[in-house]
Chain A
Amino acid sequence: MSTEKIIMAGFGGQGVMSMGQLLTYAGMIENKQVSWLPSYGPEMRGGTANCSVIVSDSLIGSPIITQDATAVIVMNLPSLIKFEKNLRANGRVLINSSLIEKKAERQDVEDYYIPANEIANEIGNLRVANMVMLGAYLELTKAVSVDSVIEAFKKVYGAGKEHLIPLNKEALERGAAVVRG
């Protein structure tokens, strides 16, 4: 891996920001260069939310991702419409097919369809749909290891949330399985 530039987007409450933070934290644990840049403002309060994450082996210039995203993870339809164009050629778009019926329009990108809400419901908690998406992304890119993400989870959420680790691990694995194909 040289540089991964990921845009993650969805409704507020779909865990887009925390998915980005976990990836960023995991990158830091692996001694990579990382940055996390959120959208902020009124849309944080219930509308669409997105964040840009860069994980790199070399120094990061701008934390902003313009037309060179290596991956876009979208949790809802408006996010797909908004961010598909930010992908570079041969980039990856990961689509939450539970909520998005539309297919990727671009022909020069790799598209993946992950029924994240259904999987999350199956394993018992809709709130881990973000982790299903992240699991798929990690399987495709190996940007960071799953272990590092779990390590990051412990750091970010503390001992009080450790009982949720098995559930999150399962979500990551189920997401990975979808794209392992």
Chain B
Amino acid sequence: MTRILMKGNEAIGAAAIKAGCRYFFGYPITPQNELPEFMSKEMPKVDGVYVQAESEVAAINMVYGAAGTGARVMTSSSSPGIALKQEGITYIAGAELPCVIVNISRGGPGLGGIQPSQADYFQSTRGGGNGDYRLLVYAPASLQEAVDLVIEAFDAADYYRNPVMVIGDGMIGQMMEPVEFREPATKRELPTKDWATTGTNSSRKPNIINSLALDPEELEKHNIKLDKKYKEMEEKEVRYEMYKMEDAEVVMVAYGTTARIAKNAVDALEKEGIKVGLIRPITLWPFPYKAFKEIPATAKALLSVEMSMGQMIDDVKIANEGRLPVEFYGRAGGMIPTPEAIAAKVKDILGGAK
């Protein structure tokens, strides 16, 4: 396969088309604009459809309608726009429809800024919308991984009949790296979409896409059914990378592009004879709690590194189960941590730990 140099937002769009996505409903917001722009140009070439919706709310509801017909469908936005989509996302999860939602996130709260941020961790993993539901959340750290995960996301969405979110910060959207388009790593037996609203053809009972259940007993049953699915995801879908964990004195936890910066810090510290490892969650939900069972006995502390004021750290603490001190280093608002600052924090922790 040939490698192509692409901008992140465009590579994500190309990956979606490669995965058979033919319907894209978008709305402009920086820093994801190249994605809808790319889709508006490329979708007609593959007999697909691009619609620029009147709002993010409308876009996600168009996704809801299109997903109901069984089509592979995607939308994208950035943080405040994703906030607006939460209504549709909970309906789609409740009605058990597959779709892929891309968040090229930026600093908040409110209108915030347009520079890279990871302050949407809670929003994506804790349910931004109402009710008991979960999204499978992929957090790529490179464009190749973004492409691979987007392609995978459509299969995972179809398999679980659940929305899948791919979250990258503004850097993932804006940077260029070589990518190649490959088949998904996980082969899934995909169920037929016999639930889709494609017309009864007067030969079957009507299909109904719905998230309403006024009878509490019925709704509880539905919740239990959904939960079973989420448990299956927790069992099968956890992904993470371990980096230089052997004999690590400090174990960092970082995802997305922050993990790449953290790796630079790990390598720099290694040259100074300081052993630091990295756990990189690739799925934010389900979170790789089990990776923390593999932390070597040499570890003196955990360090959560994030482009936020500390959100993933909650999951790090849950995973840690009170064993080690959990430290935090983060930059917010679009400021990006430097390897030097992360390394200094590690030295600080070890100074304190001695």
Contacts and interface: CB of A to CB of B under 8 A. Distances in A.
Interface of A: 21, 24-25, 28, 34-38, 40-41, 60-64, 66-67
12 contacts: A24-B5, A28-B178, A34-B178, A37-B175, A38-B174, A41-B30, A41-B114, A61-B339, A62-B263, A63-B171, A63-B177, A66-B339
Interface core residue of B5, B267, B336, B339 (most chain A CB under 10 Å): B5
B260 A62 contact: yes
B5 A64 contact: no
Interface string B157-200: 00000000000001100111110000000000000000000000
Contacts of A60: 260
B114 A21 contact: no
Interface in B294-337: 336
A38 B3 contact: no
A35 B261 contact: no
B177 A34 contact: yes
A63 B174 CA distance: 11
Contacts of A24: 5, 176
Given A21-B176, A28-B5, A62-B339, A40 B261 contact: no
Contact of B3 (A28, A37, A40, A62): A28
A40 B263 contact: no
Interface in B2-31: 3, 5, 30-31
B103 interface: no
Nearest to A21: B176
A37 B171 contact: yes
A15 to B, nearest CB: 16
Contacts of B267: 61
Contacts of A62: 257, 260-261, 263-264, 339
Given A35-B177, A36-B5, 5 more contacts: A28-B3, A34-B178, A38-B174, A40-B31, A40-B170
A82 to B, nearest CB: 16
Nearest to B113: A41
